């Protein structure tokens, strides 16, 4: 059975999708862009600030579902510009210091609201 996950500590969906879906031992988190939940706006700053906001949004959804970053097994990253990869990776690494998940990173031509990145995640908890 699937359970919809929704928290005010992450951006509300801006379309017909859920922040997260818990299905059995898995949690599927929709792509998150660097929206500040309180304002609905993209966080100010560059790729480091945007990465931190995205990861905090993912962390909030995980926590709402009773998961943590340690439960994340797969991440997909969409960057508008792969030349930002090094700076992105420095910030991202702080969230997964031990046993990082698998990851795919691709460059895309555009993202919602002009965001520099979008990240989705899959978590598993026994």
In 3-state terms, what secondary structure has residue 3?
Answer: strand
CB–CB of 75/119 below 8 Å?
Answer: yes
* pLDDT on residue 103: 98
Instruction: List the pLDDT tens digit at each of the 126 positions of the chain.
Output: 899 999 999 999 988 999 999 999 999 999 999 999 999 999 999 999 999 999 999 999 999 999 999 999 999 999 999 999 999 999 999 999 999 999 999 999 999 999 999 999 999 999
* pLDDT on residue 1: 85
Q: How far is CA 123 from each of CA 56, 75, 104, rounded to the nearest angstrom?
A: 15, 9, 15
Q: Which domains does the chain have, with CATH numbers?
A: 2-124 (3.30.1330.40)
């Amino acid at each position: 059975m699937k359970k919809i996950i929704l928290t005010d500590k992450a951006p509300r969906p801006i379309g017909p999708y859920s922040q997260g879906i818990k299905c059995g031992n898995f949690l599927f988190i929709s792509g998150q862009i660097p929206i500040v939940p309180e304002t609905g706006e993209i966080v100010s700053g560059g790729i480091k600030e945007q990465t931190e906001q995205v990861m905090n949004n993912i962390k909030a959804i995980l926590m709402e579902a009773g998961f943590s970053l340690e439960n994340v097994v797969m991440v997909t990253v969409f960057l508008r510009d792969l030349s930002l990869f090094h700076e992105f990776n420095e910030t991202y690494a702080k969230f997964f210091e031990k046993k990082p998940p698998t990851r795919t990173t691709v460059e895309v031509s555009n993202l919602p609201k002009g965001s520099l990145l979008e990240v989705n995640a899959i978590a598993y908890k026994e």
